[in-house]
Amino acid sequence: MSLMRLLAFAVVLAAALPSSPASAQTTLRVVMHSDLKIVDPIWTTAYIVRNHGYMVYDTLFAMDAKGEIRPQMVDKYDVSADKLTYTMTLRDGLVWHDGKPVTAEDCVASVKRWAAKDSLGQKMFSFVKEIQVVNPKSFKIVLKEQTGLVLQALGKPSSNVPFMMPKRVADTDPSTQISDFTGSGPFVFKKDEWKAGDKAVYVKFAQYKPRPEPPSGLAGGKVAKVDRIEWRAIPDHQTATNALLAGEIDMIESPPHDLQPVLKKDANIKLLNLNPLGNQYVFRFNTLHKPFDNPKVRQAAWYAFNQEDFLKAVVGDPASYKVCKAMFVCGTPLESTKGMEGLLESNFEKSRALLKEAGYDGTPIVLLQSTDLAVLTNLAPVAKDLLEKGGFKVDMQSMDWQTLVARRAKKDPPAQGGWHAFLTSWVAADILNPVMAGFFNAGCDKAMFGWPCDKEIESLRDQYARETNPAKLKAIAEAVQVRVTHYPTHIHVGQWYQAAAVRKSVDGNIEAPVTVFWNVEKKGR
Amino acid sequence: MLYQYVARRLIATIPVMAVVATFVFLLLRLTTGDPAAIIAGDNATAQQVEEIRAKLGLDRPIAQQFAIWLGNIARGDLGESFFFKKRVTELILDRLEPTAALASFTLVLAVLVAVPLGVTAAYKRGTWVDRLVMGMSVLGFSVPAFVIGYTLIYVFAIQFAWLPVQGYQRLGEGFGGFIVRLILPSLTLATIYVALIARITRGSVLEVLSADYVRTARAKGLADIGVLLRHVLRNAAVPIVTVIGLGIALLIGGVVVTESVFSIPGLGRLTVDAVLARDYPTVQAVVLLFSMAYVLINLIVDLTYTLLDPRIRY
């Protein structure tokens, strides 16, 4: 017997030895974009925890495939004639994972905890006079003045999502992580099997009562079709790819673009764009320090940049990106190119002229480059190149993403450990309107890192929050977009799409802004 | 006498560990990165980040944080992970089995392969066997562990589908799955170790082979195998044992890479995850543990000398 045969025999023999007991249940094994370390979706805005939230918890409202907000746990809701009172009634048969019924009291406590943490929730609550339990199945939100934010906020698709929790859990201080993971969603979190760095396990919740409608985006019937879902922590992309090729896992949520050609070639694997709205790359200014404290200098960057260069450098495949001048994302109700004429076309002469006009003294722009996330790494070198062609001097400083995250929070001058600019990516679902999208906040110290300070933008955002007419909402959003071209808070440098890699034995994946697992079925175990 | 020596060595580890603890603590605090910002997530407001920082005690002066941590360590409390919300001791115990299994399997594999290879190369000095073994040693030394890992995965898991690509199965869940999942990671990790031990074994055996007592043994008519095992290998063992001990540092470094490549939830992966997330309590504890292990292994190696060479006394 040759050595190789001997080895193969030994391996087969070893594999045949008794292992864990066989089970007839269907198990879906998935590698998500990150390992699950924290499990309180209200405590953190991390996307992996949001995705965990969609497994375990349910929402009052949800966004459908058309971007419209639909009732989810709510059976019906009434808005009073003066639009100041929203009365919501829960569906029949909703129960928590411990078998107790979901009550209005639970929902009121959950909404309050969420609103204490989430920025859109806080904005919505600035209009709220009171929130009252009417009966075990109904509650009402009474407003001080009209706002179009109530349903938008309660049906918010991305972090922080207003997930419903039992009152005993929702009463936890919002700054303290929950330790009871009882939800009412289609899957139950197996706390005893959760090993951060290894796997998180969810099992089908047999008592979950889905809506009768077919699933649409994050709305509609959430029917769990597999018995068990394991989120496997495989941080190495190459290993995850190999595991998918070998059939050890069923799906990779975010395979990097450079490995997708390998996956495409395999007959057993399909690449699916599950998030049609995709993501948006963004160049963020720090408006506190020279020269970016001068809006005209920041405007020069609008002229120096073009989206195609960024997208080609990072994504590569034109099928996976879109040149899109609409700040509120192409393919959404607020899509518009108003104010974008002549911008993002790499007009270097115009950029240099603006810098001259602004009196730019050649201060180097401290540009932070994240080097450990493949989807971001190549953005900064492109920005550096285009800015230099546009007349800027650039000092690009490379670091890992976590260092960048810490540094961008610093208000110190760039020469003393601060910064001028960095690039990041937003999930489109987070930037669908000027109130929701954090980088449009121009509230000075209250704004996100970069701290833009502009009364006009803030006034427009406030108008948006109060408006309920869709046509007027769009007009306000366009006005915000135009204002941002004159008082730049950030520049969007391209829309891109992340395909998921799925084995062909898996079917029913839903197109939504968040990867969800109801309706997903698998042939075999 | 031996007990006194062991006691002295153990006491000497206390200042060593204190230096390591201080160094790790300061290094982490001087490294850029903010655990609170990482925990809060990308969309968090400055206020949310501040709340988390206060909750973790990171808003206190560094000296105060250090004093608290040292006090806890003195009581045997390694603290709570920022991210996993578990006691660090619990985390480490949970991750110990995969790493211990991988390291032990690798060590056994490496010694079983490297020592015979080194002895054979020395015995066949100057022949093609010697050149082949030494050539492979240089190769094993030079090729990074992750390249070996990916190559083994490609050949044995993807092309032949004989072995799994990744993962770990606990011994309690079945011996078959346990051993099958350890083969590729151990082979990967053992490569550099085999190279190191084989080279030292060859050198050490060559030195002994030219000794007078070996010539005498041969002159007495003892068979070559007997000479090698009874006279040569035993006398060449001290440098070999030394390099096995020193190689534990290599093994620790290799575990970090190998566990990442093969997705094994052991201490190596825990270290990488904790460093990337700036999970200070976990990094501090794991580094202390690895340092302690290294110090103790060196002590064991020193004690082994007395067994191998009766002339050595402490």
**A20, B40: Cβ pair inside 8 Å?**
no
Query: CB-CB: which of B33, B176, B180 is closest to A18?
Result: B176
Contacts of B187 (CB under 8 A, 6+ apart): B109, B148, B152
Query: Which segments of B124-144 does DSSP mark as H helices, in order?
Result: 128-142
**Chain B residues with CB-CB distance to A46 below 8 A:** 39, 41-42
pLDDT tens per residue, range B90-148: 999 999 999 999 999 999 999 999 999 999 999 999 999 999 999 999 999 899 988 99
Give the rounded distance of the alpha carbon of B13 from its chain centre.
19
CB of A402 less than 8 A from some CB of B:
yes
Helix (H) or strand (E) holding A410: none
**Chain B residues with CB-CB distance to A286 below 8 A:** none
Query: CB-CB: which of A12, A196, A243 is closest to B166?
Result: A243
Closest chain B residue to A246, measured at CA: B158
**B32, A406: Cβ pair inside 8 Å?**
yes
DSSP secondary structure letter of residue A438: G
pLDDT tens per residue, range B70-89: 888 888 888 888 887 789 99
For the question of an ipTM over 0.85, the answer is: no
**Chain B residues with CB-CB distance to A240 below 8 A:** 263
CB of A17 less than 8 A from some CB of B:
yes
Backbone dihedral region for residue A222 (phi beyond 0: left; psi -120 to 50: alpha; all else: beta): beta
Over chain A, what is the mean pLDDT?
92
pLDDT tens per residue, range A306-345: 999 999 999 999 999 999 999 999 999 999 999 999 999 9
Query: CB-CB: which of A14, A232, A402 is closest to B278?
Result: A402
Closest chain A residue to B43, measured at CA: A45
**B153, A242: Cβ pair inside 8 Å?**
yes
The helices-and-strands tally (H runs, E runs) of chain B is: 13, 0
Query: CB-CB: which of B45, B83, B272 is closest to A448?
Result: B45
The whole-number average pLDDT for the span A127-152 is 95
The helices-and-strands tally (H runs, E runs) of chain A is: 16, 21
**Chain B residues with CB-CB distance to A243 below 8 A:** 165-167, 263
- DSSP line for A326-360: -TT-TTSTT---TT-TT-SB--HHHHHHHHHHHT-
Q: Which residue has the tokens 């292992």?
A: A19
Beta bridge partners of A130: A142
The whole-number average pLDDT for the span A170-190 is 94
Structure confidence at residue A1 (pLDDT): 43
Structure confidence at residue B58 (pLDDT): 87
**Chain A residues with CB-CB distance to B273 below 8 A:** 35, 37, 197, 235
Q: Looking at A324-445, which runs of residues are DSSP E strands?
A: 365-370, 394-399, 421-427
Per-residue confidence band for A519, with pLDDT thresholds at 50, 70 and 90? very high
**A424, B42: Cβ pair inside 8 Å?**
yes
Structure confidence at residue A12 (pLDDT): 45
Q: Which residue has the tokens 């499990």?
A: A39
A403 or A386: which leads in pLDDT? A386
Query: CB-CB: which of A11, A35, A175 is closest to B55?
Result: A175
Closest chain B residue to A5, measured at CA: B162
CA atoms of B191 and B188, how far apart (whole Å): 6
**B41, A409: Cβ pair inside 8 Å?**
no
Structure confidence at residue A138 (pLDDT): 97
Closest-CA distance, A400 to chain B, in angstroms, reads 9
Beta bridge partners of A453: A443
Question: What value does the CA radius of gyration of chain A take, rounded to a whole number of Å?
Answer: 25
Pairing of strands A199-204, A187-189: antiparallel
DSSP secondary structure letter of residue B80: B
**Least confidently predicted of A173-182, A309-318, A490-499, B23-32:** B23-32
A235 or A188: which leads in pLDDT? A188
Closest-CA distance, A278 to chain B, in angstroms, reads 17
Structure confidence at residue A274 (pLDDT): 93
Q: Which residue has the tokens 């993002």?
A: A344
pLDDT tens per residue, range B216-234: 988 988 888 888 888 898 8
Is the predicted pLDDT of residue B313 greater than 80, yes or no? no
CA atoms of B124 and A260, how far apart (whole Å): 50
**Chain A residues with CB-CB distance to B44 below 8 A:** 44-45
Of A257, A103, A198, A40, which is closest to residue B97 (Cα–Cα)?
A: A198
Structure confidence at residue A22 (pLDDT): 42
What percent of chain B shows pLDDT beyond 70? 99
Is the predicted pLDDT of residue A14 greater than 50, yes or no? no
The whole-number average pLDDT for the span A105-123 is 94
Is the predicted pLDDT of residue A18 greater than 50, yes or no? no
Per-residue confidence band for A5, with pLDDT thresholds at 50, 70 and 90? low
Q: Which residue has the tokens 């799906």?
A: A251
What percent of chain A shows pLDDT beyond 70? 95
CB of A411 less than 8 A from some CB of B:
no
The whole-number average pLDDT for the span A88-93 is 97
**A236, B42: Cβ pair inside 8 Å?**
no
**Chain A residues with CB-CB distance to B259 below 8 A:** none
**B51, A175: Cβ pair inside 8 Å?**
yes
Query: CB-CB: which of B84, B154, B165 is closest to A243?
Result: B165
The whole-number average pLDDT for the span A84-112 is 97
Structure confidence at residue A24 (pLDDT): 63
